[in-house]
Structure 1
Amino acid sequence: MASQPSRSRPIWREPGMPHLLLTTGFAFAGFAVLLPVAPMHVVALGGDTFLAGLVNAVLMASTILTQLVVERVRSRIGWSVVLVLGCLFLGSPALVEIFASQAWHVVALAAVRGIGFGIITVSGASAIAVLFTPERRGRAVGAYGLAVAAAQLLLTPLAPWIAETAGFTTAMVLAAIPIVGIPFGISAGEVIGRHPRTVPTATIKPATVTGPRIPLVRLLPPIAALTAVTCSGGAIMTFAPQFAPDAVLTLVLLLVFTATGAISRWLAGHLADRFGAQTFIVPGLGIAALGLVGIAASIAGIADTGGPVLLVAGALLVGTSFGVMQNVTLVRAFELAGEHAKGTASTAWNVAFDAGTGVGALGIGALATGTSFAFSFVLLAGLCSIVGAALLVSSGRHNGEV
């Protein structure tokens, strides 16, 4: 019997996709636990707000440095080995953190986790570009995002509560779950490595050259939009336990943020394939700005008794934008890079995502220490608005090229 044609086969059943989703799902689950818990651990060990923000900033700095070399390393040692290393570097430090006795121990371990996260993020996005043709990538990115967000949806909101009620040791054991993804990474890597679209990857260069290398300025519009929104997401996921009034509202806020992000990322995939990814970039920035203003107003006490509702509503809007932008900016980056430079687009997109998350954590931590969380979120709303306005002007000059 002939095999089912690729275009009619469900996204979830594409060869290599199920085990890729399991590998990255377990990896992101461990990441989701420690994103809010590691800063809490720093504070519990005597660190201040700035040091708490520094944890995720160091995590993302290490992630970015790793992302810049993943494509080259993977071309030498293969997909399976790289995915196994990603799971190990993400999961093992969580077990070591159980024995941390000083705040800087947590910061140092975050740098190690960043190596694993850098490997997983670039490899996951590149694998999608290998497994799926351009006309199916919006839905594939949506499915990938929904799968990796499933564990995050549960664990990011619950992780602070688990740490507070069951203790940091329990949270750290749970954060070691990426190790479970190792056998699936081996299997996924074997399939992806044999795929006919697996080709030598592009190298990031700052100038226009011939061959598979592309000028990064072509990727600037979607990358700038993504960075602005991930700054906001990084701030919310890092400091929700600090700016939310109590543990229950922290749980609700993070649950709403992650749930809307997962759902909107999935739905955006279908819309991007139908209407074009660039159509949704500027509106996504506007939604984020509106939500950030709502969060700032709630923190400042402007809404009085309606503050909690406004806080959750703001998280819903920012979460929606966070999910949409993860999908459409990646699809748009692939479009602008072309089939010959999928690796470049994947690396640039992941660097922007994690740089934004890290800057959001460190920047908001520093600003909140000297001013307030309300003022910091107003600035983030301004950032999204400015980037959106710049892209509108740019699109007018370049006939819709956003």
Structure 2
Amino acid sequence: MTTSRPEAPRSIWAVPGMTALAVVAFTGFSGYAALLPVAPLWAVRGGADSAGAGLVNFVLLGTTVATQFFVPALIRRLGWGHALALGMVLLGAPALLHVVSDALAPTLALSAVRGVGFGILTVAASAAAVLVVSAGRRGAAVGAYSLALSVPNVVLMPSGAWVAQAWGFGPVFVLSALPLLGIPACYVLGRHLPERATRGPGHVDVPDAPAGASTYRALVRPTLVLLAITLAGGALITFAPQLVATGWLAAAGLFSLGLLSAVTRWRVGALADRVGAARLVWPFVLVAVAGLAWVAWLVRTEVGGDRVVPWVLACALVGVAYGALQNLTMLRAFEAAGPRRVGAASAVWNAGFDAGTAVGAVLVGTVAVGAGFGVGMAITAVLCLLTLPLALGRRGGRTPRPGVRSP
């Protein structure tokens, strides 16, 4: 008599550990998103000039990227629960300490500590998203994880500055400490993540193994595609208020970008499980090029109320590609790195995301000084187009079916 293999749960949320992962992502990214636009304002209140204010998030992202490459070793040393909890403490606790001083030096120091915590969270949580499920459901798992982290980005990032101006900085600092509430979920999630190797064929239950040069070479293709789209997205997010005539137009464009990005990043995961992530990358690269070219055409001159519909639709089109390519390049990175290099793939992907976002703002801002924002945004469209051969190359099949636990 043969025993049939149990069917995978219908809903991805029924997979053990997924709800805990969503709590970790939601609380952790709430702490990041709420303070991102507000910490520079806090430094300005303390007397910093625009250059000093710009350093605040530069330090945050710089320490984030510097930390991300050490996270796989940290997980091997501390275990999943302790490593995730440490990231949440370092991200959430310094937010409350901002109230002590608005001077630039302590603000930068706290941003650096928060960057270390955010670096741990981003790498560990995205790796957990593929390890907590069977291989055939990792697209849906990454989509669910992306939805949980996207909600704070859509809601809190645009509203943080308004809350600080209307009700004071204190409520924002409290919101930014939400990662501390996610610490219990870190240990719940850790119980559903692999701690040691299992000898069954194709079955790898390790947090990560040290990566070599071949691993990083395999990650070049998805990382360059990710760099191009995050460079473009970072530029649009940074300069939207300067591209349009009024604040509400900037908010409308950014809301459409954020909302479509969140929804697409969520839903494209399940589609990738069915048809394979590799088959979906190149169409969304073309969507990105079309959306960015449209934005570049519109912002040759300042966008006013008479072009609100084209502006919102163009931002939405960019948002569709921005969200989809984040999910798909993450899945491609895990596929390229292989089952024993999940942490390395997560570290490289997250570093690429943050680096692309930072470079986009600098590049487009520099070009805009001499040639205008239309040319600057057109360059982002060209850079995305140049990644099309990378998106078309080495197209793989669909993701392995459920049954063997492999990231």
Superposition TM-score tier, normalisation by shorter sequence: 0.7 to 0.9
Q: Considering fraction of residues, name the structure with more helix.
A: 1
* Contact 1:243–1:299 under 8 Å retained in 2: yes
Q: Could you tell which deviates more after superposition, 292-301 or 8-17? A: 292-301
Flag the 1:96–1:378 CA change in 2: closer, same or farther, 3 A: farther
* Contact 2:38–2:164 under 8 Å retained in 1: yes
Give the alignment of 1:1-400 within 5 angstroms.
5=6, 7-43=8-44, 51-193=52-194, 197-206=204-213, 208=214, 214=215, 216-301=216-301, 305-368=305-368, 372-388=372-388, 390-391=389-390, 395=393
Amino acid at match of 2:64: T
Q: Distance in 1 between matches of 2:370 and 2:161?
A: 25
* Contact 1:222–1:281 under 8 Å retained in 2: no
Q: Secondary structure at the match of 2:272?
A: helix
Flag the 1:170–1:300 CA change in 2: closer, same or farther, 3 A: farther
Flag the 1:108–1:117 CA change in 2: closer, same or farther, 3 A: same
Amino acid at match of 2:183: I
Query: What displacement does 1:248 show?
Result: 2.5
Q: Distance in 2 between matches of 1:104 and 1:234?
A: 26
Q: Secondary structure at the match of 2:211?
A: coil
Q: Secondary structure at the match of 1:339?
A: coil
Amino acid at match of 1:184: A
Equivalenced residue count is: 389
Q: Distance in 1 between matches of 2:224 and 2:387?
A: 7
1:211 is matched with none
Amino acid at match of 1:228: A
Query: What displacement does 1:162 show?
Result: 1.6
Q: Could you tell which deviates more after superposition, 332-341 or 66-75? A: 332-341
* Contact 1:158–1:251 under 8 Å retained in 2: no
Q: Secondary structure at the match of 2:173?
A: helix
Q: Distance in 1 between matches of 2:5 and 2:11?
A: 10
Runs of 4+ aligned structure 1 residues displaced above 6 Å come to none
Q: Distance in 2 between matches of 1:3 and 1:83?
A: 36
Amino acid at match of 1:21: A
Query: What displacement does 1:46 show?
Result: 5.3
* Contact 1:56–1:361 under 8 Å retained in 2: no
Gaps of 5+ in 1: 209-213
* Contact 1:244–1:250 under 8 Å retained in 2: yes
Q: Distance in 1 between matches of 2:220 and 2:40?
A: 31
RMSD: 2.8
- Cα shift readout 1:280-312 (whole Å, capped 9, x = no counterpart): 222222222332233334433266553333332
Query: What displacement does 1:19 show?
Result: 1.0
TM-score, with normalisation over the residues of structure 2? Answer: 0.85
Flag the 1:318–1:234 CA change in 2: closer, same or farther, 3 A: same
Query: What displacement does 1:118 show?
Result: 0.8
TM-score, with normalisation over the residues of structure 1? Answer: 0.86
Q: Distance in 2 between matches of 1:90 and 1:181?
A: 11
Q: Could you tell which deviates more after superposition, 224-233 or 171-180? A: 171-180
Q: Could you tell which deviates more after superposition, 171-180 or 98-107? A: 98-107
Query: What displacement does 1:366 show?
Result: 4.6
Q: Secondary structure at the match of 1:256?
A: helix
Flag the 1:267–1:185 CA change in 2: closer, same or farther, 3 A: same
Flag the 1:304–1:194 CA change in 2: closer, same or farther, 3 A: closer
Q: Distance in 2 between matches of 1:373 and 1:107?
A: 30
Gaps of 5+ in 2: 199-203, 398-407
* Contact 2:35–2:176 under 8 Å retained in 1: yes
* Contact 1:277–1:328 under 8 Å retained in 2: yes
Q: Distance in 2 between matches of 1:325 and 1:151?
A: 19
Q: Distance in 2 between matches of 1:51 and 1:378?
A: 29
- Cα shift readout 1:354-396 (whole Å, capped 9, x = no counterpart): 21122223444555566644443222222112222x426x62x
Q: Could you tell which deviates more after superposition, 106-115 or 117-126? A: 106-115
* Contact 1:281–1:328 under 8 Å retained in 2: yes
Query: What displacement does 1:136 show?
Result: 0.9
* Contact 1:288–1:384 under 8 Å retained in 2: yes
